[in-house]
Structure 1
Amino acid sequence: MFKKLRRHDKKLSLEEGRDILERGVFGVLSTIGEDGYPYGTPLNYVFDDGHIYFHSACEGHKISNILFSNKVSFCVVDSVEVLPSSFSTNYKSVVAYGIASLVAEASEKLYVLKKIVEKFSPDFEKESEEVLKGSLNTTCIIRIDVQHITCKGNIEV
């Protein structure tokens, strides 16, 4: 179902790919809309227990596309260093393929929002508690159940 990586010499281990997803700050979510056009959205996220989570407004282009087709990809690029003299770039990247769904359960939504605060605002966890609880009805949480990961990199010395 998923194509094999063409450049086997660039393949990174699955463990390294998971590490990239764990420490990554931003990724690009790719969806497809009713009009047939792909749509890429850069966003922050958390990777937890094999799932990619992010928060969103409950309406808009991204949500409409996910409701139209829940098959998505999510790309994270890490450790980027341009090498001008060798006309190359050092990088590590992951593309995760999966099924996106809107999280309905309030306890899972709150868990994910706390994980987002823990990752991006660790000094404000206590201050965030009331804000998070108050935003449960107006914030959508999307979970990507990852089905396949490709991990690729270029590391020149």
Structure 2
Amino acid sequence: MEMLRKDRMLNQGETIDILNRSEYGILSTVGKDNAPYGVPLNFAYVEGVIYFHCAKANGYKIINIINNSNACFTVVDDVCLQPEILSTKYKSAILFGKISIVEDIEEKKKGLEALIKKLSPGYMEVGMKCIDKNTDKTYILKMEVAEMTGKGKK
């Protein structure tokens, strides 16, 4: 999708920086009735892939992913309201791609390890024990990024 405000376009490096700094974003999927469904999730970005984790339960998110792999992921960073000029300073990243449930045990561990490195970096030893103990109780979702755009206003 082409960005209309090219003056606000961020380069790929700046966009990846947003992904690496941010703790959560909104994953949007499509339901059976074509209704959009957005849910906030922690995530980790690794070389063109976004990893998410969730409980092994078949809620809206999982049912939607099973029925339609199209997804959009949005992250907003560095937000500052500027009320005196009726504006907002921000940086954002929007990613489009296909999402799936990871079945391969080694890739599940890779996704979980990436999440721990990003979100709990001082607790790798505890995290690795948790991975060994709970991998079979957890879904790892993998969004393969087909398109990524970054936008910002200073």
The residue type paired with residue 120 of structure 2 is S
After TM superposition, give the deviation of residue 128 of structure 1 in Å: 2.3
1:123 equivalent in alignment to 2:122: yes
* Deviation beyond 3 Å, 4+ runs, structure 1: none
Is residue 2:9 matched to residue 1:31?
Answer: no
Q: Deviations over 1:24-47 (max 9, x none)?
A: 111100001002210000011000
TM-score (norm. length: structure 1)? 0.93
Aligned counterpart, 1:142: 141
**Match of 2:25, SS?**
strand
Letter in 1 for 2:117: E
Aligned identity (percent) is 37
Offset of residue 123 of structure 1: 2.1
**Structure 2 Cα separation of the partners of residues 127 and 21 of structure 1:** 24
> Could you say which residue in structure 2 is the equivalent of 1:112?
111
**Structure 2: unaligned runs, 5 residues or longer:** none
Q: How far apart are 1:130 and its partner, in Å? A: 2.4
1:43 to 20, 25, 41: 41
User: Which residue does the alignment assign to 2:78?
Assistant: 79
Q: State the AA in 2 paired with 1:27.
A: G
1:39-81 Cα shifts (integer Å, max 9, x gaps)? 0000110000110001012321101011111010000111101
Equivalent residue number for residue 154 of structure 1:
153
Secondary structure, aligned partner of 1:104: coil
Paired residue total: 153
SS in 2 for 1:5: coil
Name the CA distance, whole Å, in 2 between partners of 1:51 and 1:13: 18
Secondary structure (helix, strand or coil) at the match of 2:74 reads strand
Mapped to 2, the partners of 1:143 and 1:129 lie a distance apart of: 20
Which amino acid in the other structure matches residue 52 of structure 1? I
- CA-based RMSD of the aligned residues comes to 1.1
Structure 2 residue 131 is the aligned partner of structure 1 residue 132:
yes
Distance in 1 separating the partners of 2:10 and 2:74: 15
Unaligned segments of structure 1, at least 5 residues: none
TM-score by length of 2: 0.95
Q: What corresponds to 1:10 in structure 2?
A: 8
